[in-house]
Structure 1
């Protein structure tokens, strides 16, 4: 951004070939309707690349994207007002019309058809949010203090699991897109944590058995501490799900 201008860009990564090990990114589209700092950009979870959401400090934009003609058009927009602050969000992979946003540490939910808020979890103390890619109604948040929380939106009064594991604020959290029990979190303690966190209800089928079976245990599988600075962003590689990307 420069001065009072804020925006985001859509880039295309060329395929690797034998002649070039480091292909140049191709700039496709600019998103220039923002007047506040952009906090995140979300692709349509269906895998199609013709819709995306951009969230800045005060607004949520729904865009129609035409990458072949390098064009972007705002479909709709919603503002949270001058007294509130958006800091992130996630698009529900099970409902293309539902999006979750973090507003003043609370979780708020919008219907994209009307761009109106449908519900909220007040004082969730969240800094980031991600939906479970495999199971409906479940999501995870990066806790305001030192860990992650798992939520079931059918019982939103309190988290169903709390997993502390950071020494300072947790800023980012992401489910593995294929193995939903694997979760990454990162924070200002210069640490990235890899969790094995079984989704709520994962052992419901066991409860009908006459023989008590051990419940699956959640655990911190590994902590990656080779960072000198705070880690503010995370992404699993779509090409190889064993790899992760981070932002400092």
Structure 2
């Protein structure tokens, strides 16, 4: 991929689910889930970027179980993924949601020879192996998302609209349940595992607030919380991979906030560079001062938060700020809401953004910012 040029991959159906292939350390791969209302029409696309040439290679798999609202690749097995999906049930005449774990028949995307290329070009969408489906006890209850446990391949956290449950992957049974107190409790809208604190905490978005629960036992009281993290609905969160008390949040107030949850009264970093709802926020796994956001203003932004990523006890680090805080680059190749923006799991300078108009844009951090960080 040449400096400054993004690569666009178009799909046939609308999309809002994207995940890097976390278990892959060599190839730059992303998985996309489609959101088509037609029965048995949805797919999972595996997209691989050939770094030297900028060529894209893809494979397409069937996802006949329903439209995909959320997708996560397993950090434990490169071929395993889970989808949060919605489908119309003709028996009950209503839509039901579920979480399904799949296994890809192959992780190879780039053909090894001409025979492989001919075979791929002549094939339609392939089948994935369905390993397990988890559904709500109440068919009408919405499922917001599902996240793999960071270290235990047999556990996933599932965020329902009224509770958080940790499920056993093999049996599907809930092994821990969290439901907030109060009759008029606000609904959950998403969440994520805390990669620190022994991997026992799961933080959820609850309207404008952030609540974090200990998953080792059933609980209805949070371990910590950030009230009024946003002036409107909180849409996404991501933990700083290097600083155990820092997390970033995004919301309908068009804001990107960074918090130290030990004192959550005010954010330690705040930007409102988007002009509409911010759906996604992600820390770079290697360089914590780089953050990605995606918004309904049809833009993905690369933002620097260097001022809150320095060690203030180190005088040299305190005096030298590698990047200036603020937007480094705006990516405007989309024409609809950017629901997801994700860093590559294999290459720290490459990322992808996905919009509802079925457009995946792969980009790289501009070279001069990269050199500022490295040199």
- Give the Cα–Cα distance (whole angstroms) in 2 for the partners of residues 115 and 199 of structure 1: 38
Contact 1:11 1:25 in 2 (8 A): yes
Compare relative contact order (CA 8 Å, sep 6+) and give the higher one, 1 or 2. 2
Number of the residue aligned with 1:204: 312
Number of the residue aligned with 2:205: 102
Unaligned runs of 5+ in 1: none
Helix, strand or coil at the partner of 2:281: strand
- Give the Cα–Cα distance (whole angstroms) in 1 for the partners of residues 217 and 318 of structure 2: 47
- Give the Cα–Cα distance (whole angstroms) in 1 for the partners of residues 251 and 241 of structure 2: 20
Residues 34-68 of structure 1, C-alpha deviations (whole Å, 9 max, x = no match): 5422212111123x4221111121121101213xx
Of the three residues 162, 169, 178, the one matched with 1:78 is 178
Unaligned runs of 5+ in 2: 1-85, 89-93, 357-375
- Going from structure 1 to structure 2, the CA distance change for 1:49 and 1:229 (only over 3 Å counts) comes to same
Q: Which has the higher strand share?
A: 1
For normalisation by structure 2, the TM-score amounts to 0.59
- Going from structure 1 to structure 2, the CA distance change for 1:33 and 1:183 (only over 3 Å counts) comes to same
Deviation at 1:84, TM superposition (A): 1.3
Number of the residue aligned with 2:132: 29
Of the three residues 180, 192, 195, the one matched with 1:90 is 192
Number of the residue aligned with 1:120: 225
- Give the Cα–Cα distance (whole angstroms) in 1 for the partners of residues 98 and 283 of structure 2: 27
Aligned-residue Cα RMSD (Å) equals: 2.4
Matches of residues 1-248 of structure 1 in structure 2 within 5 Å? 1=86, 2=88, 3-13=94-104, 14-16=106-108, 18=111, 19=116, 24-33=127-136, 35=138, 36-46=141-151, 48-66=152-170, 71-80=171-180, 83-95=185-197, 96-116=199-219, 117-125=222-230, 126-198=234-306, 200=308, 202-207=310-315, 213-216=319-322, 217-241=324-348, 242-248=350-356
For the pair shown, the structure with the greater C-alpha radius of gyration is 2
- Going from structure 1 to structure 2, the CA distance change for 1:235 and 1:162 (only over 3 Å counts) comes to same
Query: Number of residues paired by the alignment?
Result: 241
Q: Which has the higher helix share?
A: 2
Helix, strand or coil at the partner of 1:5: strand
